[in-house]
Each structure stands twice: as C-alpha cells, then as structure tokens.
Amino acid sequence: MPPTRRKAPRQLAPQTIEEATALAGRYSEILTLVEQARADADVSIAEIEALRDGCVVPLEQEAKGLFMQLRAWWGVAGVELTDGKRKSHELAGCVLGTRTSTPSLNTGKMKAAEAVGAVLRLAARRVDQLRRNRLVALIRVKRELDRPAILKELGSADLGPLLSDAGFAPKQTEEFFIDRAAPKPAATETVEVDQAA
C-alpha cells in the first residue's frame, strides 16, 4: 500500500502594503516580547543562582576543610583500618581511601617542541624500520583545511585557477532576513537662550 501523502500547510502572503506593514509590526512586537521574556528569565535565574551560591559556597568550604582533616587522619589510621590489605574503608556512609590516578606523561623540563624533537631524534638513529615507524607514530599531526585562506586564494590570479580546477569554489546563497530597524533619534531643535533669562 503506498504511503499517504501529506500536504504542507498553506502559506498566506500579504497582498497589500498595509497587510505587510501589519505583519511586520506584529513580527517586531513578538521579537520584543521574546526578548523581554528572556531578560526576565535571566534576572530570575541570576537571583536563584545567587541564593543557591549563598547557601552552597559556605557548605563547599566546610566540606573542603573536612576533606583535608580526613585526608590527614587517613594517612595515620588507614593502614590500621584496612590491616594493610585494602586501599579503602567504608565509614559513616563514605568510602575513604587512596587510589592511583590516571597516568599522565611527564616530559621533565622539556617543552612540547623539544619533546617532539627528542622523539624524532630517536627515530633518526640507526634502528630497524619497524621501531622507527613506531616512534614516528608517537607524534600526532592534525591536518585540516584553512577555509578562510582557501576562500581568499580563490580570488588570486596564480592559485585561484588551480584551486578551482581541483573542485574548490565559494558557496553563497541569498537568504531572506528580517531585522528590526534601529530606533530613530528624537528630533532636536536648537533654541537661542536669552541671556537675561
């Protein structure tokens, strides 16, 4: 059985300048209402977050102090509580203990460029090809198109044709937009002031 067809809702367009003016006015009014609702919500959210922070920040500071005290206590009592067989112990609804962190790479005092150079020097030594390939694979190079530079070069005389032949081309579309007009400044008039007044 073929699928049933659904028609898109009919779009009504204004027929006169008056109708278009009314629609544009309503559109601007809706945008103003949306902005006001968002501004009101932002103020309410800021007030709620301030109340939350007023309550939470002192508690977090107290918890941090308790953590430091318990960490010092665990250094002394941990071995006794676990008989040296475990790294943690449950106490008053908490599990206290030590754990090994995720490993991170220590490059000593070398900066990133120096570390890359050190790996490349290792790969340049007389080692077998397999080990050399494995060493070079330790260096990650991220390559990506510099799109703004390509767009700029598409307009140049020397690289533009080459890039175009390779399939690169700028892409632009015409898009309908509605922006609210900027408010007009109030009309002012220069008035001479009487010195005697």
* CA-angle at 59, arms to 57 and 65, nearest 5°: 105
Asked whether the beta carbons of 96 and 70 are under 8 A apart, the reply is: yes
Distances from the Cα of 172 to the Cαs of 98, 151, 169, 175, in angstroms?
58, 12, 10, 9
Domain locations in the chain as residue ranges: 16-81, 110-168
List pLDDT tens digits, range 50-103: 999 999 999 999 999 998 988 888 888 888 888 878 888 888 888 888 888 787
Supply the pLDDT for residue 196: 58
Supply the pLDDT for residue 74: 84
Residues lower than pLDDT 50 in the chain: none
Supply the pLDDT for residue 2: 63
State phi, psi for 120 to the nearest 5 degrees: -65, -35
Decide: pTM greater than 0.75.
no
